[in-house]
Chain A
């Protein structure tokens, strides 16, 4: 390393090699503390149902439910992101009943089922999806429904989730160490 900060612990014996206790060689993963949007816990209440596909001609539909500017204002680069979804008032359970998934888990990353029925992959389901581009964070509910499957269309109206969103300055170009 030709520049930066390195901290070594003092040695106690003459021949002992100094122990590196800190180095700035590896850049920290950084949240900009001056941008409120990059470090948020967002409560989302579904007062009505995100539209389902008709289940015959179309069996998949993506619904944009919320979008916001993350504030990094990059020309083309995409900031890195973490999302953690917490379902409100969901008691964790685990198991199956007549082949139908009954498990309910209170936490999960972007891309998780909020509800669903059928064998995996679930035939009738609502999935929370978060995407990030160079300017915005986008939350979607993906709906899967097959009218001929015997399962009801997925419903999440009346439920609520909390999305913990961390949008980091480090981008996805592969140049974080440069």
Chain B
């Protein structure tokens, strides 16, 4: 219900009239919140099934940790994607579990899993706000912070807080979903066109139906046998060829809700 909630404007702005990016907090923002987090060790040639405790297929990501270093996230195999050990790990999930497989017969890997409180099987379309044109300036005397149980409200560590107006969070613009792709002979696609014109940050998830449930995997850009994410300008596609029964979703983020710092490097 859009008329119920909490808004806090930046100092100097009228909360009833200011633009979205001039708010410090809006409880209606579809911000990504962490509903499940776990780090596991996946043995060589091993597999694991991890219940996430949510009643829907959540936006799920996995990071590979090797020798104290995050070596990149897990995506489905693609002909346009190759980085060890990313291609060794297979991640999928449904409305009950996360499934991990290690195709490396020699090395163990630590995998960190995060599920965000976002049902990727349900279509959604949120207001696409005007993005921020300038860097946000934090005012420590003004805002909101909600500390986690047992943590110090004066802590400077953002991890101690559920919400802190010193921080900014990625938020969702749209979820476009297709329960099953209909064609088993032609290329089928889910398409999203960003009406705001900028190139959005898009994540894609898809996979086969197993036991009546779509078994989603994070999908990288590029062609592959079971599906691919393809972006051209403000248009994004999740496509499958020759795979009747596959389903998938595009999750479009509101980035850039806040302005990024830019820098240049010449190698």
Binding site for B on A (CB under 8 A): 2-5, 7-10, 19, 21-22, 24-34, 36-37, 39-48, 50, 65-66, 76, 78, 80-82, 84, 86, 92, 94, 101, 103, 105-113, 120-122, 125, 127, 129-134, 142, 164, 166, 169-178
A39 vs chain B, min Cβ distance (A): 5
User: Which one of A33, A46, A110, A131 lies within 8 Å of B69 (CB-CB)?
Assistant: A131
Q: Is the CB of A46 within 8 A of B32?
A: no
A121 vs chain B, min Cβ distance (A): 5
Candidate in B27, B36, B80, B138 with the most chain A CB atoms within 10 angstroms = B80
Does B181 lie at the interface of the complex (its beta carbon under 8 Å from any beta carbon of A)?
no
Given the interface contacts A127-B82, A176-B34, does A28 sit within 8 Å of B232 by beta carbon? no
Binding site for A on B (CB under 8 A): 1, 4-6, 27-28, 31-39, 63, 65, 68-73, 75, 79-83, 86-87, 112-114, 116-117, 135-136, 138, 146-149, 157-159, 161-164, 166-170, 199, 201, 220-223, 230-232, 255, 258, 260-267
Candidate in B72, B136, B157, B232 with the most chain A CB atoms within 10 angstroms = B72
Query: Which residues from chain B contact A37 at a C-beta distance below 8 Å?
Result: 261
Q: Is the CB of A27 within 8 A of B112?
A: no
Q: Is the CB of A50 within 8 A of B267?
A: yes
Bound Cα distance A107, B158 (Å): 30
Q: Which 8 A-B pairs have the closest CB atoms?
A: A111-B83, A30-B167, A26-B33, A22-B27, A169-B158, A172-B112, A174-B39, A176-B37
> CB-nearest residue of chain B relative to A86?
B199
Q: Is the CB of A26 within 8 A of B162?
A: yes
Given contacts A5-B163, A108-B80, A170-B114, 6 further A-B contacts (CB under 8 A): A25-B162, A28-B163, A41-B262, A78-B70, A113-B80, A164-B260
Q: Is the CB of B258 within 8 A of A39?
A: yes
Candidate in B28, B69, B116 with the most chain A CB atoms within 10 angstroms = B69
Q: Is the CB of B136 within 8 A of A33?
A: yes
Q: Is the CB of B34 within 8 A of A29?
A: yes
Query: Which residues from chain B contact A50 at a C-beta distance below 8 Å?
Result: 267
Candidate in B75, B86, B162 with the most chain A CB atoms within 10 angstroms = B162
Bound Cα distance A166, B4 (Å): 31
> CB-nearest residue of chain A relative to B221?
A108
A60 vs chain B, min Cβ distance (A): 9
Bound Cα distance A105, B236 (Å): 12
User: Which one of B6, B79, B260, B265 lies within 8 Å of A44 (CB-CB)?
Assistant: B265
Q: Is the CB of B263 within 8 A of A43?
A: yes
Q: Is the CB of B136 within 8 A of A27?
A: no
Q: Is the CB of B230 within 8 A of A131?
A: no
Q: Is the CB of B159 within 8 A of A170?
A: yes
Q: Is the CB of A21 within 8 A of B27?
A: yes
Query: Which residues from chain B contact A9 at a C-beta distance below 8 Å?
Result: 1, 4
Candidate in A28, A33, A164 with the most chain B CB atoms within 10 angstroms = A28
> CB-nearest residue of chain B relative to A107?
B231
